[in-house]
């Protein structure tokens, strides 16, 4: 049994970073809850606990204490950045134990595969939750709440699912979790309107879709910039959405992932 401790940052009286009508504390709770649900629904032999599953304040020392007391195998703290940058970065403690570095490489890369955003790098810092947790620990900073383009992505439910999926994929690879037999629970039918080797072409299509009232985003996968317009758990709904897109002059294909 692999024990994963998820730590959505902030909460309660501490909103974390705020900007563009968003609060860090609620975004990270959404992402962490999705990560928990995906892991428990789709994978065998994994247990998940969270430092908080509601909008409450939990002290930093308490977060690590809970994970240590439980004997977690991995501590994953989830945050949203602020301060004028853009993109994704991850942190481990400055002591950089070999296993912790290895896990950061796996998890960071899995998240970047899901997101078409700037990679700000694999970093280290003396953060309290990383220092005080006795198991390998990572802290992810998922885009910038005070950057309009990042905030627009964070307002998109499908994008938050991709952020969560990246965290899940990283855990699955790092701990070699096995899928539940026959679990369709995590299947997502992605509706894609185009795939390009040129980022500029992908951006042009994204702009056209936005002008038509959709909320597309670009995922870099296998060297291609894929313009995704929607994601559905139900194939019929995905196909119906693809038909609608085609009726408005866009290409649309449904992929199961």
Alpha-carbon distance of 75 to 257, in angstroms, equals 26
Check residue 25 for interaction with Zn ion (CB under 5 A): no
Q: Is 8 in the site for Zn ion (CB under 5 A)?
A: no
Select the span of 3-11, 61-69, 98-106, 227-235 touching Zn ion (CB under 5 A).
3-11
Contact 108, 90 (CB under 8 A): yes
Which one of the listed residues 47, 89, 141, 210 is annotated catalytic?
141
Instruction: Output the smallest distance, CB 31 to Zn ion, in A.
Output: 12
- Straight-line distance from the first to the last Cα atom of the chain, in angstroms, rounded to the nearest whole number: 25
Q: Does 79 bind Zn ion (CB under 5 A)?
A: yes
Distances (CA, A) of 237 to 183, 231, 241: 19, 9, 6
What is the C-alpha separation between 246 and 251, in angstroms, rounded? 6
Among 12-20, 99-107, 143-151, 225-233, the segment contacting Zn ion (CB under 5 A): 12-20
Judged by beta carbon, residue 79 or residue 93, the one nearer Zn ion is 79
Select 8 or 216, whichever has its Cβ closest to Zn ion: 8
141 is catalytic: yes
Candidate list 16, 87, 136, 230; residue touching Zn ion; CB under 5 A:
16
Q: What x/- string results for residues 226 through 245 when contact with Zn ion is judged by CB under 5 A? A: --------------------
DSSP 3-state assignment of 218? strand
Contact window for Zn ion (CB under 5 A) among 30-38, 67-75, 76-84, 150-158: 76-84
Q: How far is the CB of 28 from Zn ion (least distance, A)?
A: 7
> Does residue number 9 form part of the binding site for Zn ion (CB under 5 A)?
yes
- List Cβ neighbours of 249 (8 Å cut-off, separation of 6 or more): none
In the complex, the smallest distance separating the C-beta of residue 179 from Zn ion, rounded to whole angstroms, is 32
Closest contact distance (angstroms) between CB of 10 and Zn ion is: 6
Please tell me what DSSP assigns to residue 180: P
- Taking the least distance from each CB to Zn ion, the nearer of 64 and 228 is 64
Cβ burial 73-99 (10 Å sphere, 16+ → b, else e): bbbbbbbbbbeeeebbbbbbbeeeeee
Instruction: Count Cα neighbours of 76 within 13 Å in the Cβ-side half-sphere.
Output: 29
Q: CB of residue 151 vs Zn ion: minimum separation in angstroms? A: 15
Interaction residues for Zn ion, span 98-127 (CB under 5 A): none
3-state secondary structure of 58: coil
Which two tokens mark 212?
């038509």
Task: Name the residues that contact Zn ion, by CB under 5 A.
Answer: 9, 16, 79
Q: Which residues are known to be catalytic? A: 141
């Amino acid at each position: 049994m692999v024990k994963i401790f998820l730590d959505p940052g902030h909460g309660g009286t501490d909103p974390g970073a705020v900007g563009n009508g968003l609060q860090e504390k609620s975004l990270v709770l959404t992402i962490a809850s999705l990560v928990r649900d995906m892991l428990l629904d789709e994978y065998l032999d994994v247990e998940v606990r969270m430092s908080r599953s509601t909008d409450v304040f939990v002290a930093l020392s308490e977060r690590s204490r809970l994970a240590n007391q439980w004997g977690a195998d991995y501590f994953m703290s989830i945050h949203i950045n602020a301060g004028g940058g853009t993109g994704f970065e991850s942190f481990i403690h400055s002591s950089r134990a070999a296993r912790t570095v290895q896990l950061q490489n796996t998890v960071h890369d899995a998240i970047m595969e899901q997101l078409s955003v700037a990679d700000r790098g694999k970093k280290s810092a003396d953060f309290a939750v990383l220092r005080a947790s006795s198991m390998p620990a990572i802290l992810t900073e998922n885009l910038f709440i005070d950057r309009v383009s990042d905030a627009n992505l964070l307002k998109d439910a499908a994008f938050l699912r991709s952020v969560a999926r990246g965290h899940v994929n990283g855990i699955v690879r790092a701990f070699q979790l096995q899928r539940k037999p026959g679990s369709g629970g995590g299947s997502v039918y992605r509706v894609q309107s185009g795939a390009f080797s040129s980022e500029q072409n992908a951006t042009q299509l994204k702009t056209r879709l936005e002008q038509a009232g959709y909320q597309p985003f670009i995922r870099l996968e296998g060297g291609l910039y894929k313009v995704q317009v929607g994601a559905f758990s139900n194939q019929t709904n995905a196909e119906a959405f693809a038909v609608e897109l085609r009726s408005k002059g866009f290409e649309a294909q449904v992929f199961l992932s």
